[in-house]
Amino acid sequence: MVNKMLYSKSATHSHSVAWFLAALMVLSTSAVLFASNDVNREEFLGDEPVVFRNTNTQQTYDLYLAKQNETVGGQGTITTLAPSSEGQEEASAVDGLEFRSAELITDLYVNGTGASNIARLSIYYQFSGPTGSTATVTFALKAGDSQIVTASKELSDPCSTNPLSGNACSWTVIEVEFGLASDGFTVPQGKQLKIRIDADAQCADGQGGLPSANGCDVKFAFGKVGSGGSYSRLQIMTNALSGSSVRVHSCYGNFGCSWNDEEKLEWAPNHRLKFREMRFSVEVRDAFGRDDIEDVTLVMSTPNEANSVFEIDFDDDMLKLDNNGLVGIYNYTASGLASGEYPVRLEINDVQGHSLLFEHPGLEFLEHDVYLTVPQNQPDVVLYAPGQTSKVNLLIEHTGSASSSLDVVFDIADNLPIEWAEPLWSQASGSYTLTGGGDSAIPELLIEVPEGDLSDAPEYLQIEARVYATNDQGQSEEVAIKTLRIDFEKVDVFAPPRISIYEDQEHQKQIADSTRPEAYDEGLSHYVDAFNGSENFYIDVFNSGFDTDSFKIRVLEQPDDWQYRFYSNVTGAELTEQGIYHLTTDIGSTQLLTVRMEVFPPEDRESLDIGLFSLAFSSTEDSELRTDVAFTVQRTFGILAEVIADSDGVSEGNLLGQVGPVSPNQDVWYNVRISDSSSTSTTETTWRIINPRDLSRNADNNPKYTAWEYSISNDTNDNIVVVSLPADEYVDIRIGVQLNGQVEAGEHIVYTRIIEEGVEEENEPRYFDLPVKVIIKEDVVPGRIEITAKTEASRFSSGEEKNLEFKITNQNNVELDVFILLYQPLGWEGGIRATSNQLGSDFIFVKLSAYESKDFSLEMTAPESLKDSASVAFEFKVTPMNNETPYAEDFEQTFAFQYVTECSGASCLFGELTNPEPQTMVFYVILGVLLLYAARRGRQQPTQHFEAIVQDKKTEELFEEELDEADDSMPEPVVAQADDDDLELLEELDEL
């Protein structure tokens, strides 16, 4: 889209003269009117309003320096609004002074004026101090925290704050010129335009630059300076509204009406009403914010721009803040418009008088246009069958100018097999004339389908309509081509009907559909108020066969004591009964008949409140061609409670009142609306809410439901038990359910009763039982199979047979097939069995419901040879199964059970000798070592005795002399050392 722009500027001579004279008067009287606040004014004339036609064109903006705003920071603000009510503000620049704009809501492209691209700051200042003092003031222009340009001013000849001084202080304008780059600069969205002022004063008396009564100071004035309406301000060139625009959409059909959707630029003046609904979306983006916008106007003009089709002014209520911009919507339905191009423009005026005009591309209302579709009673699919003739009606509407006549020629694109006969149109050559906008025709197309193989038949029919009009030269020319694709579906001559059921005659509340059974919950309640006596349901019976057929209706299932009747919704006549069937009238191919089913609830309150109606519809030509549907009805007694929200949210496919699948430990909630629709009294009725845990029907369904925790609350109270309700009013409550963790997987329905308070049971109080559904997901976790021994452990004797009892428990919330495998000690014989009539085996299968326990037994026989006090272990390996498929390996569990043996007599001794225990083996080792040692000692002693005898006498005498001379420290004999070695050996044997 291209926006055009026109720029104009003017200033009247008389206006300038008036301002000049005012400035002279103020200057001449300033010393009298002000003490320290005298003002030497230097006014700048404002520009006349300027019109922008291009978002890239810039214009002069005056940005005023105003008082501080804590939300933007700094010592002062930068605004497009001229300060009016606020007085003069003053601040010293010695310690730094900063002015900030609000955060910009769009990028702001800033330039200066003239060939040098100057941004000019005009600001009132006051330099005070002793004579001879000087000051340097630095001015900086910033985009956010980025410094763009700086400028400095040297100040001298300070004024005196003494009012008697001849040089009393007044306020004087100083002009600062910021020389910008040739391409200017940009303040990004979300950043602030800033002006920073820093002053460095040099006092002649040497007191430095600290502001004081006797020192130097440089002050600046802002806000409304003086009493004559003078201002400090920055003058720049920019376009704060450059992000604004308008778009046009159609919210029907293939077009979307969101801002980023494709625009609709062509419209048909005589189209159906819904196709002439135009949505104009306005987005106003002023970089300086909403306060800078004065007014917004949207105009659509006639093609010659002599008049306006509409002119709408957007007030504050029509413009909403969205995504940092102001957005507004105007809906217009075109009516009675001639063909041609209609200009659309968006006019925006800001507070400084700038008028921006955004021109949208013209909207074309077509002279020659048609709309091709099928009649309302014609299905959007064409059926065909071997040897039959298919018929399809089309609808062509002239949607263009009322004064133009059109010829429309129909044809089928070349997608029919060449062997088929040429299609026949209801008019020769398929040509139809439409005399003007609003005229229509219904062409009829016949297609003869051959017998035999139809595998080459197309999946759709491509209908083509070529539109011709007479031009200015009197010649016929093609002005439009329209195409329509219709599904082409093979069917049998007779077929099962397609059934749809609705709660209302207008067919807005559908409750069943045979073609999409997964989309509707047949267990969802549909209410029948017993005070009304009956309720109607509307059943559409669609003949999907190729030939005319009628259908038999049979009620397969109904709640006890409930009654029903069937009527033709067209004639009102009751359907003919034939035994167990009700017969419809003939229904043409691809046609439907609406049957009204009137349902009567039982009067007896002991009868069922809720139940299922299951219906079968079969062809009278072939009873095998049958369609079944079902829906649930629930009786009410003048009070109704419906779930309007639940903890499942509003996700796609979620059914209100049904939550899950959720984990067994999860909390769920339901928001319920209670409505009193039967009371004729003007007073309030009090209704008691029966907690689900106290309702007997919940306990009868599943005793575990009474162990759940329930909470009933509204916006202000918890644990409420009664509500007061006027007639035809409603109240909302919340029902919370806290599950106890041991909940079987699957669907659980819990009821909450709302019953009339203060009415005795014999007087039949009004009541309603609200069902809510919780779906628990499967929760199978490793380690949740348990096996415990039921038989007290006792000793096994040799050859003894024992029957041991065990219990296996499934702590998961789903039914499991469990495979139990026995591992027994070597030589023992055992078999497990689940029932007494089973033969024992080394494995069994046990089916366990959620949280169920079952007993099984182990028949174990000990071997004949046992040892006393031996420990033996039997093991069970457990594998859970899911539909005969084992769970993963980490789901397997092993359970071990220890038993002790006993033994006595010779057989026990023999068994210990042949198969000794470890401690016996140690005894055998020690005994063997001792025997070996004794044998060794026996061999060593005779040898030593022989060596002593053969010694000669001389040696013996010498030996005796040496013994006499030996002292007490002489080493012990060799015999004693041998004894020590023997002791060490014995100690080692003891340790062994």
**Cα torsion 577, 578, 580, 582: sign:** negative
* Contact yes or no for 513/467 (Cβ under 8 A): no
Mean pLDDT of 522-546: 91
Tokens 């229904």 sit at which residue? Answer: 587
Label residue 187 by pLDDT band (50, 70, 90): very high
- Torsion of the alpha carbons at 77, 80, 83 and 85, rounded to the nearest 10: -110
Question: In angstroms, rounded to a whole number, what is the distance separating the alpha carbons of residues 536 and 502?
Answer: 9
Three-state SS at 584? coil
> What pLDDT does residue 752 have?
94
Beta bridge mates, 359: 345
- Could you name the CATH architecture of 245-335+343-361? Sandwich (2.60)
> What pLDDT does residue 992 have?
39
Which tops the pLDDT comparison, 106 or 559?
559
Q: How far apart are the first and last CA of the chain?
A: 102
> What pLDDT does residue 922 have?
64
Measured at the CA of 446, the angle between CA 440 and CA 450, to 5 degrees, comes to: 165
Q: Hey, where are the domains in the chain?
A: 57-238, 245-335+343-361, 370-490, 498-636, 639-776, 785-914, 920-941+978-992
* Distance set, CA 887 to CA 788, 817, 882 (Å): 22, 10, 7
Residue 38 scores a pLDDT above 80: no
> What pLDDT does residue 169 have?
85
Considering just the CA atoms, what is the radius of gyration of the chain in Å? 52
Question: What is the DSSP annotation of 381-435?
Answer: EEEE-TT-EEEEE-EEEE-S-TT--EEEEEEE-S-S-TTSPPPEESSGGGEEEE-
What are the tens digits of pLDDT across the range 792-802? 888 888 888 98
pTM of the model: 0.53
> What pLDDT does residue 680 have?
60
What are the tens digits of pLDDT across the range 752-765? 999 999 888 878 88
> What pLDDT does residue 983 have?
44
State which amino acid sits at residue 19: W
Question: What is the DSSP annotation of 340-377?
Answer: EEEEEEEEEEETTS-EEEEEEEEEEE-SS-EEEE--TT
Peptide bond into 211 cis (omega under 30): no
Question: What is the DSSP annotation of 847-864?
Answer: EE-TT-EEEEEEEEE--S
Residue 366 scores a pLDDT above 70: yes
E strand intervals along 665-815: 667-676, 685-690, 709-713, 722-725, 730-738, 746-756, 767-776, 785-789, 801-810
Q: Which range has the worst mean pLDDT, 328-342, 388-402, 674-688, 754-768?
A: 674-688
Q: Which range has the worst mean pLDDT, 5-9, 342-346, 787-791?
A: 5-9
Residue 483 scores a pLDDT above 90: yes
> What pLDDT does residue 928 have?
73
Label residue 441 by pLDDT band (50, 70, 90): very high
What tokens does 970 get? 């002489």
Residue 919 scores a pLDDT above 70: no
* Distance set, CA 349 to CA 145, 298, 638, 723, 944 (Å): 31, 12, 59, 55, 138
> What pLDDT does residue 918 have?
61
> What pLDDT does residue 146 have?
95
Mean pLDDT of 284-297: 88
> What pLDDT does residue 675 have?
87
> What pLDDT does residue 34 have?
33
CATH, range 498-636: 2.60.40.10
Residue 172 scores a pLDDT above 50: yes
Q: What is the DSSP letter of 228?
A: T
Name the phi and psi angles at 907, rounded to 5: -65, -40
Q: Which range has the worst mean pLDDT, 95-99, 413-417, 488-492, 582-586?
A: 413-417
Name the phi and psi angles at 912, rounded to 5: -70, -35
What are the tens digits of pLDDT across the range 860-878? 998 888 888 888 889 999 9
Residue count of the chain, please give it: 992
Label residue 12 by pLDDT band (50, 70, 90): very low
Residue 702, burial from CB neighbour count under 10 angstroms (0-12, 13-18, 19+)? middle
> What pLDDT does residue 984 have?
47
> What pLDDT does residue 524 have?
86
Residue 568 scores a pLDDT above 80: yes
CATH, range 639-776: 2.60.40.740
Question: Which CATH number among 2.60.120, 2.60.40, 1.10.860, 2.30.30 corresponds to the domain 57-238?
Answer: 2.60.120
Question: In angstroms, rounded to a whole number, what is the distance separating the alpha carbons of residues 948 and 708?
Answer: 103
* Contact yes or no for 689/756 (Cβ under 8 A): no
- Name the helix (H) or strand (E) containing 266: strand 266-267
Question: In angstroms, rounded to a whole number, what is the distance separating the alpha carbons of residues 883 and 881?
Answer: 6
Interhelix angle 918-949/974-991, nearest 10 degrees: 170
Three-state SS at 276? helix
Mean pLDDT of 167-182: 90
What are the tens digits of pLDDT across the range 81-110? 988 777 889 999 999 999 999 999 889 999
What percentage of residues in the chain have a pLDDT greater than 70? Answer: 83
Q: Across 53-62, 368-377, 959-968, which has the greatest mean pLDDT?
A: 368-377
CATH classification (class only), 370-490: mainly beta
Please, how many CA atoms are within 13 Å of residue 411, restricted to the half-sphere of its CB?
8
E strand intervals along 144-244: 146-155, 170-179, 185-187, 193-202, 217-223, 233-238
Mean pLDDT of 678-697: 83
Residue 33 scores a pLDDT above 80: no
Residue 654 scores a pLDDT above 90: no
Mean pLDDT, the chain, integer: 83
Residue 119 scores a pLDDT above 90: yes
Label residue 6 by pLDDT band (50, 70, 90): very low
* Two domains, one topology: 245-335+343-361 and 370-490: yes
Which tops the pLDDT comparison, 392 or 209?
392
- Could you name the CATH architecture of 785-914? Sandwich (2.60)
Residue 15 scores a pLDDT above 50: no
